[in-house]
Homo-oligomer: A and B are copies of this chain.
Amino acid sequence: MPTIIFEPTGRRIKVKTGENLLEVCWTHGIPIESVCGGNGACGKCAVQIIDHGSPVSAEDRKHFSEERLAQGWRLACRTRVERDMRVAVPLPPGVLPGQVMTAHEASDITPAPKVRKHFLKLAPATLEQPGSDANLVLQAIPGGDSLRFRPSALRKLPGVLRKAGHQVTVTVWDGAVLDVEPRDTTRHNYGIAFDVGTSTVAALLVNLNTGEEIGVAAGLNPQRKYGEDVISRISYCRSHPEGAETLSGEIVALLSDLAEQVTTSYRVNPAHVGEYVAVGNTTMTHLIAGVDPSPIGELPYAPVFTACQTMLDGPKGARLGHKPFEIPAALGAFVGSDIVAGLVALQLHTKPGTRLFLDIGTNAELLVGGRDRMLAASAAAGPAFEGVKIECGMIGIAGAIDSCGLEDGDLVFDVIGNGAPAGICGSGLVDIAAVLLDLGIIDESGRLLTRDECPKTVPPKVCERLHEANGTTRITLAGDVYLSQRDVRELQNAKAAIAAGIEILMHHLGLAPDELDEVLIAGAFGSTLDPRSAQRLGVIPMVPLERIRAVGNTALQGAKAYLLSTRLREEICGAGEHIELRELSAEPDFMDRFADNMRFGA
């Protein structure tokens, strides 16, 4: 059986001879892009096979230059594993260890976790001083009188106690003894925070004693094969009797895999993980809990639950050691626990000042206000800002154009990884559109001018990039990569939805853009976005640039806060009371504002 070593993690997987490499990645939770489902069409499952020449398929020739082919780049979906290989799989953005673990203001939490470990040196009972094993333990723990043993811990207790000469470590969680281990293991107290996105899923391993971020594992949401966005996944649940169960099983399996990966990679005993927390949009958290999200997809878009939810033994079917698994509170059907946990991690609800918080993923969520009053909404922006539904779009991995400028009379691009451009990611899209708007090649209505209409002020090399294809205008960027009229329309739709949402929330609060003390942009997109370009497009209100700040993966930071601090946990569970959720589609002026914002301002 051939072994594949995946770089950069070094993970080794044994496979059957002739297995399809993309399917191996799917089966084992290796994060990899694929939109077409593995038929060689989308070209997104590019991997670099490092140590030997692999056969080149017709589809490989279509997607890679000779140079890249020589470097070992292949489509995973066209690759059969015939012998041992080392494979580098580009990681999706936002899930790279360095990126996820960037410190934010939220990271200086004083650890006061729900999971606590106590090392006890007990004197065994005697005939004169009798007592049960359980009482011996509880009497030695501060506040032990009110604790109860969970059945699994009770079953371990007599054996562990006697084998360890009555020197044991007990794990306590919310009034319950979860575990008992021989000797002193108090140093080994871990939790795992999951950020479950529609596209990508990350698992952050946290030391609960110190708050240290140990490491991260990430994967693509296996539910992608049922559709790119939550609405198509809900549709699948509504139209298939076992749909919710299937989708639930897939995400729970991925969470189990990621927990295994991150503990294996960082040499943490899975038995020392005392608690799991998963944040995500409300559809994802429903599916993690095994709850059918169908009601979210029909009027009045009511979720089944929004309150903080505990699964004492973990989700159904999980391989997570039957530990407590928590889902923090959501606000509603389209503003999930990822947003709520993030805002508490940033302390937006307690800090003075007025802020706009924007999380643009497959959908966009908005929060506006401060500690006195805060409004939230979800804008159906679609996945354009993630590079999805853009003809040459891709997520921000190696090969993606992520910024654009004008140099020596022509367009110039930055490409992630500095290789040949393979597509456009969200921040690249924003940048390119802003440059083309400034040049006048895209007009205020969003029309991409033809080469004939190209303004005289535009350098000729740029005008020459314009051409017609398939009855519409395109602008060639680099190699096969282009931006089309249809892409600009997708962008307009996305930015109009977000801008209209922001306007409505600010209007309800009586706020002008200048009254915003900060604009905080969360997520991978936020960290690569050029704020000036975003303002040029009208996605972000016109505040002074220095007030715009990327705040990273606040969802994961929020999940970590939930793990680390019982106080922050309470704040997250109670946050719903402080925030008013607005359903934009029910706002009378939404359609007007949406239409207005389709235009690009001057």
Mark out the residues of chain A between 299 and 356 whose CB falls within 8 Å of any chain B CB in the assembled complex: 299-307, 309-313, 315-316, 332-333
Contact partner, A158, options B294, B310, B332, B333, Cβ 8 Å: B294
Minimum C-beta distance from A115 to chain B (A):
19
List the B residue with the shortest CB-CB distance to A299.
Answer: B127
- Listed stretches A130-138, A380-388, A410-418; interface member: A130-138
Contact partner, A291, options B158, B301, B312, Cβ 8 Å: B158
Assess whether B127 is in contact with A300, with CB atoms less than 8 Å apart. Answer: yes
Whether A84 is near chain B, meaning CB under 8 Å from some CB there, is: no
Assess whether B135 is in contact with A307, with CB atoms less than 8 Å apart. Answer: yes
Assess whether B304 is in contact with A132, with CB atoms less than 8 Å apart. Answer: yes
Assess whether B307 is in contact with A134, with CB atoms less than 8 Å apart. Answer: yes
Tell me which residues across on chain B come within 8 A of A149, comparing CB atoms: 305, 309
CA distance A149 to B303 in the complex (A): 14
Assess whether A300 is in contact with B133, with CB atoms less than 8 Å apart. Answer: no
List the B residue with the shortest CB-CB distance to A306.
Answer: B132
Whether A126 is near chain B, meaning CB under 8 Å from some CB there, is: yes
Minimum C-beta distance from A249 to chain B (A):
13
Tell me which residues across on chain B come within 8 A of A311, comparing CB atoms: 151
Assess whether B151 is in contact with A304, with CB atoms less than 8 Å apart. Answer: no
Chain B proximity mask over A209-225: 1 for CB below 8 Å, otherwise 0: 00000000000000000
List the B residue with the shortest CB-CB distance to A136.
Answer: B302
Minimum C-beta distance from A447 to chain B (A):
35
Chain B proximity mask over A110-135: 1 for CB below 8 Å, otherwise 0: 00000000000000111110111111
Tell me which residues across on chain B come within 8 A of A151, comparing CB atoms: 289-290, 309, 311, 315-316
Assess whether B130 is in contact with A304, with CB atoms less than 8 Å apart. Answer: no
Assess whether B305 is in contact with A134, with CB atoms less than 8 Å apart. Answer: yes
Assess whether A291 is in contact with B125, with CB atoms less than 8 Å apart. Answer: no
Assess whether A125 is in contact with B300, with CB atoms less than 8 Å apart. Answer: yes
Whether A517 is near chain B, meaning CB under 8 Å from some CB there, is: no
Tell me which residues across on chain B come within 8 A of A126, comparing CB atoms: 300
Whether A443 is near chain B, meaning CB under 8 Å from some CB there, is: no
The answer to whether A586 and B305 touch (CB under 8 A), given A151-B311, A154-B289, A159-B292, is no
Q: Which 10 residue pairs of A and B lie closest in terms of their CB atoms, listed nearest first?
A: A134-B305, A127-B300, A125-B302, A132-B306, A133-B304, A132-B303, A158-B304, A127-B586, A151-B311, A158-B295
Tell me which residues across on chain B come within 8 A of A583, comparing CB atoms: 127, 130
Assess whether B310 is in contact with A313, with CB atoms less than 8 Å apart. Answer: no
Minimum C-beta distance from A480 to chain B (A):
45
CA distance A126 to B586 in the complex (A): 11
CA distance A87 to B471 in the complex (A): 88
Contact partner, A154, options B134, B159, B291, B301, Cβ 8 Å: B291
Minimum C-beta distance from A134 to chain B (A):
4
A residues whose Cβ falls under 8 Å from a Cβ of B: 124-128, 130-136, 148-149, 151, 154-155, 157-159, 162, 289-292, 294-295, 299-307, 309-313, 315-316, 332-333, 581, 583, 585-586
Minimum C-beta distance from A51 to chain B (A):
47
Assess whether A157 is in contact with B304, with CB atoms less than 8 Å apart. Answer: yes
Tell me which residues across on chain B come within 8 A of A135, comparing CB atoms: 305-307
CA distance A267 to B301 in the complex (A): 40
Tell me which residues across on chain B come within 8 A of A158, comparing CB atoms: 291-292, 294-295, 304
The answer to whether A133 and B303 touch (CB under 8 A), given A155-B291, A158-B291, is yes
Tell me which residues across on chain B come within 8 A of A295, comparing CB atoms: 133, 158, 162
Tell me which residues across on chain B come within 8 A of A132, comparing CB atoms: 302-307, 332
Assess whether B301 is in contact with A157, with CB atoms less than 8 Å apart. Answer: no
The answer to whether A131 and B302 touch (CB under 8 A), given A158-B292, A289-B155, A295-B162, is yes
CA distance A162 to B297 in the complex (A): 14
List the B residue with the shortest CB-CB distance to A303.
Answer: B132
Assess whether A301 is in contact with B130, with CB atoms less than 8 Å apart. Answer: yes
CA distance A126 to B583 in the complex (A): 11
Jot down 21 A-B pairs with beta carbons below 8 A, ordered by A: A124-B300, A124-B302, A125-B300, A127-B583, A127-B585, A130-B333, A131-B302, A132-B303, A132-B307, A133-B303, A134-B304, A134-B305, A134-B306, A134-B307, A148-B307, A148-B310, A151-B316, A154-B304, A154-B309, A158-B291, A313-B313
CA distance A158 to B149 in the complex (A): 33
List the B residue with the shortest CB-CB distance to A149.
Answer: B305
Tell me which residues across on chain B come within 8 A of A586, comparing CB atoms: 127-128
